[in-house]
Structure 1
Amino acid sequence: MKNAGGSLEGAVIAVAGAAGPAGRATLLRLAEAGAIVVGSDADPERLASAVDAARYAHGGATVTGDTVDLLDLAATREWADKTEKEFGRIDGLVHLVGGWRGSSSFAATELADWDVLERLLIRTVQSTSLAFHAGLQRSDRGRYLLISAAGASNPTAGNAAYASAKAAAEAWTLALADDFRKAGGDEGPRAAAAILVVKALVHDAMRAERPKSKFAGFTDVAELAESIAGVWDRPAEEVNGQRLWLTPRP
C-alpha cells in the first residue's frame, strides 16, 4: 500500500465535490495514504457510492460522507465544525466542485451561464474557505487546495464565463494564502492555500466513450489525486500562494 503510515497517517481531510471522478480518485488516494477522509457532495447517492468504494478498497480506512449545500455558508460552517468536533482536528480541504458552460464564440456567450458558474465555481470556494479557515489555522499541516484550469490564465473567446469564474476562484484562494502568510509572521505560515492547475481532466469512462481521442495535455484523475496527496509532503511556506501546474503553462 503506497505511503501507508506516511505523511498523511491520521490527517483529517475534507473533500468538497467528492462524488465525481476526480473526487472518487481523491478519496481513494487519501484513504490509501492513511488519512481520515470526509467527503461532501450535493448528490447523496453518488457520494455514498464514492465513499463505499474508498472504504472497501482500503480496509480499515475511515471514509465518511455528508450531503452539504456549499452555497449555504451556514451549512458549510456546520459541516466544518462537525468534522473538527468528531475527529479532533482538520488538516485539509480539497475543493473539487466543478462545472463548465461555454459558447461557440464570445458574442454567443449567455450570461445565464455566468450565473450558474458563479455559484458552482466561486460561491462554493467562498463557503469552504471561510468555513474551514479557522480549523486549518489550528492544524500544524493545514492545506486548502483548489483545483483550477489553465484557461483562467489564458481565456478563449468561447470560455469567457468559465475562465472568468475560475480566475475569480483563484484570486479568492490567493487571498486566503495571504491571510495564512500574515498569520505566520516571521516564522512562516503554519497552513497553506494552493492551486493545482490542469488543462482538463480525463478518466477511464471518458476514454471508453471516445477511444480514438488522445486527450492531449489532459490530467488523469489518478494523477491529480497523487498530486493532491503530495502537497502535504511539502512545507507550507513552499506551497502557500502557489499555482502548482500539472500541465504546461500557457
Structure 2
Amino acid sequence: MSDRTDEASLEATMGNGTLDGAVVAVAGAGGPAGRAALLRLAEAGATVVGSDNDPQRLAEAVDAARSAHGGATVTGETVDLLDPAAARDWAGRIEKDHGRVDGLVHLVGGWRGSASFTATDLADWDLLEKLLVRTVQHTSLAFHEALQRSDRGRYVLISAAGATRPTAGNAAYSAAKAAAEAWTLALADHFRKAGGEQGPTSAAAILVVKALVHDAMRAERPNAKFAGFTDVKDLAEAVAGVWQKPAAEVNGNRLWLTEKP
C-alpha cells in the first residue's frame, strides 16, 4: 500500500486486541489468503471459524493459526458453500455456539482466463459464476441477519481490479468479480437502510487487489517482480483494519490495495 495514512492505520491494528470478543467467519480459509487471515484475526483477539471445501488444507490452516497464537480459538468446518442450506446451517451453528457473529470474510476464489476475447471458453464462466458469485450470494444471505444483530458486523469481499477494467482475456473472471461486487454493494445498501438516520452499525466492504502473492509463489519464481500484487499478509492486515473504522465509513465502499486502473 502506498498511502502513508493507510500504512499507519494498518500498523496501529497490529497486536492491539481490537477484535477481542469478536467472532469472525472466514470462507475459503484453506488457501494462502485464508491462512493469513486466520492468523491475523486470531492475533487481533477474535474467535475465528474457518470453512473450506478441502478438509486437509483447512485442517492445516487451522493448526497453523493455533500454533502461531497459543490460546487463540480457531476452528474449521468443511462447508459446501454452493449449497445455500449448508451456508445457512453454518451461520446458524456459529451464532448458536458463540452467541454472535461479527464478521464474514469471503475469500473463496478461482481463476480462468484465455489468450484473447474470442478464445474465451464459456465453460470458464460456468465455473467462475459458481465460485465467485454463487458463494457470495449464499454467504451474504446466510449471515446478513446475524451481522445486523452485531454492533460491529462486517461482510468483507475480496475482489480484483479487473472488475473495474476488464481485459480481453479475462472476460469471464472479470464479469464474475463485477457481479460479486454488485451483490455486495446491494448488501451494503441493506445495512444502510437498516441503520436509519443514525447510520449503519454493520457494513459490507470490498477490498480490491490486482492479484495476490505469497511466499511460495516467490520461491517458485525468484526473479519475478509481481508488480502491483498484494501480499496475503498485507491483505490480512487490511481485513483486520476494516473493524478499525466506523461502519458508515466502510459500508458500500471499495477499499483499494492497489493502484486504481
TM-score in same-fold range (> 0.5): yes
Of 113, 118, 125, 1:107 maps to 118
The residue number in structure 1 matching 2:80 is 69
Of 12, 19, 22, 1:11 maps to 22
Deviation of 1:91 after TM superposition, in Å, equals 0.1
The residue number in structure 1 matching 2:47 is 36
SS of the equivalent of 2:81 reads coil
Contact 2:26–2:51, Cα closer than 8 Å, also in 1: yes
Contact 2:17–2:43, Cα closer than 8 Å, also in 1: no
Of 96, 101, 106, 1:85 maps to 96
Task: Give the superposed CA RMSD.
Answer: 0.7
C-alpha offsets along residues 188-242 of structure 1, whole Å, 9 cap, x if unaligned? Answer: 0010000000000000000000000000000000000000001100000000000
Alpha-carbon distance in 2 for matches of 1:225, 1:110: 33
C-alpha offsets along residues 133-185 of structure 1, whole Å, 9 cap, x if unaligned? Answer: 00000000000000000000000000000000000000000000000000000
Are 2:52 and 1:52 aligned?
no
Deviation of 1:6 after TM superposition, in Å, equals 2.3
Residue identity in the other structure for 1:136: L
Residue identity in the other structure for 1:126: Q
Deviation of 1:5 after TM superposition, in Å, equals 5.3
Identical counterparts, % of pairs: 78
Alpha-carbon distance in 2 for matches of 1:6, 1:118: 37
Residue identity in the other structure for 2:180: A
Of 211, 215, 221, 1:210 maps to 221
Are 2:213 and 1:196 aligned?
no
The residue number in structure 2 matching 1:97 is 108
Residue identity in the other structure for 1:52: D
Alpha-carbon distance in 2 for matches of 1:155, 1:3: 34
Alpha-carbon distance in 2 for matches of 1:29, 1:213: 26
Show the 5 A alignment for 1:136-151. 136-151=147-162
SS of the equivalent of 2:82 reads coil
Contact 2:41–2:48, Cα closer than 8 Å, also in 1: yes
Q: How many residues align?
A: 249
SS of the equivalent of 1:134 reads helix
Alpha-carbon distance in 2 for matches of 1:108, 1:144: 35
Residue identity in the other structure for 1:194: A
The residue number in structure 1 matching 2:6 is none
Deviation of 1:72 after TM superposition, in Å, equals 0.5
C-alpha offsets along residues 79-110 of structure 1, whole Å, 9 cap, x if unaligned? Answer: 00000000000000000000000000000000
The residue number in structure 2 matching 1:182 is 193
Segments of 5+ residues of structure 1 without an aligned counterpart are none
Residue identity in the other structure for 1:209: E
Residue identity in the other structure for 2:66: R
Alpha-carbon distance in 1 for matches of 2:184, 2:199: 18
The residue number in structure 2 matching 1:166 is 177
Alpha-carbon distance in 2 for matches of 1:243, 1:4: 25
